[in-house]
């Protein structure tokens, strides 16, 4: 079977593409290696998605998107894409579940959290180190938590963690935050939040669980060790240091910018005919759910036009 379109990734961009493509009667396959929804599944409150109901969560919004895709007939496959052949008219997608072919492809693999790259970070991930407040904040109920980052996500997730932790300290490498003024003001007014500026973590400490870390002040050069309260024995480290695009599959296929994001035109077209990109994986000025879903809709409509023009009778 040759699909009209294969969509790689089932985050908001991929699901929006699937919805629009399937609704246009395209034979549509959405491939996702992990859980549906991407980064939004770690969001407790999607307050800025236009028209969303009050207090809607990321998982609830994703569930509705999946439901819509299914209702219009999109097929979904849980598989890992291992290789792509995109240059020919019929695109080939090699996965651990077999080979799938399509007349067009939409790349919507998203991005993954950026690591600090310090000793013990990987070893202690899931053991005190986390990149998802919604996933893990409740594990630190009554404990102390440190949040690393200075953007909207860091402060928003820090505010969310205050619902569980007894204290949340935000560590930022600069002396001013990059987050929106309204978010900064809200964080500053929260009595459970504290702030450490001009600093970063050099090493994470712990035997099986995070018990402390080494902190460096970039302006003074001072290095000190911060340990968990002896009555707790553990502290939380939530890292929000940005994201890296999941473009390893297309490094030598489509044009990327210096940061590794896919370059497209306003119609989501890459440099390869019949190959489109949508969502956080592409070069853009704003990476939010609303822009991801918009990208997905555009990509699907353009894929439909491409298939009609190149394969229509």
**Residues with active-site annotation:** 132, 135-136
**How many other CB atoms sit within 10 Å of the CB of residue 165?**
26
Distance CA 157, CA 147 (A): 8
By C-alpha distance, which of 71, 120, 76 is closest to 100?
76
By C-alpha distance, which of 65, 73, 64 is closest to 28?
73
CA-CA-CA-CA torsion for 208, 209, 214, 217, nearest 10 degrees? 150
DSSP result, 203-268: EEE-SSS--EEEEEETTT--EEEEE--TTT---EEEE---EEE--GGGTTTS-B-TTSPBP--TT-
* Phi (first) and psi of residue 168, to 5 degrees: -125, 120
Task: Kindly state the tokens that stand for 73.
Answer: 């007939």
Hey, is 174 helix, strand or coil? Answer: coil
Distance CA 127, CA 227 (A): 15
Distance CA 268, CA 9 (A): 15
Element (H, E) at 6: strand 5-8
Please, what is the Cα angle at 60 between 59 and 64, to 5 degrees? Answer: 115
């Amino acid at each position: 079977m040759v699909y009209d379109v294969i969509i790689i990734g089932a985050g908001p961009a991929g699901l929006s593409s699937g919805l629009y493509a399937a609704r246009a009667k395209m034979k549509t396959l959405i491939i996702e290696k992990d859980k549906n929804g991407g980064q939004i599944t770690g969001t407790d409150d999607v307050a800025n998605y236009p028209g969303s109901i009050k207090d809607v969560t990321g998982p609830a919004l994703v569930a509705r998107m999946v439901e819509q895709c299914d209702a219009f007939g999109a097929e979904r496959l849980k598989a890992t894409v291992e290789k792509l052949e995109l240059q020919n008219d019929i695109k080939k997608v090699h996965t651990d579940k077999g080979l799938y072919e399509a007349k067009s492809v939409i790349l919507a693999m998203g991005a993954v959290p950026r690591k600090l790259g310090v000793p013990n970070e990987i070893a202690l991930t899931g053991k005190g180190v986390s990149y998802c407040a919604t996933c893990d904040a409740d594990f630190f109920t009554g404990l102390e938590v440190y949040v690393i980052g200075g953007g909207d996500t860091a402060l928003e997730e820090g505010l969310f963690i205050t619902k569980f932790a007894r204290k949340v300290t935000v560590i930022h490498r600069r002396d001013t935050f990059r987050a929106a003024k309204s978010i900064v003001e809200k964080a500053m007014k929260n009595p459970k939040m504290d702030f450490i500026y001009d600093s970063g973590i050099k090493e994470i400490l712990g035997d099986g669980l995070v018990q402390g870390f080494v902190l460096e002040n970039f302006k003074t050069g001072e290095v000190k060790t911060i340990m968990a309260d002896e009555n707790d024995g553990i502290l939380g480290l939530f890292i929000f240091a940005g994201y890296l695009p999941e473009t390893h599959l297309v490094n030598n296929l489509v044009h990327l910018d210096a940061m590794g994001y896919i370059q497209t035109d306003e119609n989501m077209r890459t440099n390869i005919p019949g190959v489109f990109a949508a969502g956080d994986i592409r070069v853009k000025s704003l990476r939010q759910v609303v822009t991801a879903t918009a990208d997905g809709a555009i990509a699907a409509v353009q894929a439909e036009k491409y298939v009609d023009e190149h394969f229509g009778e």
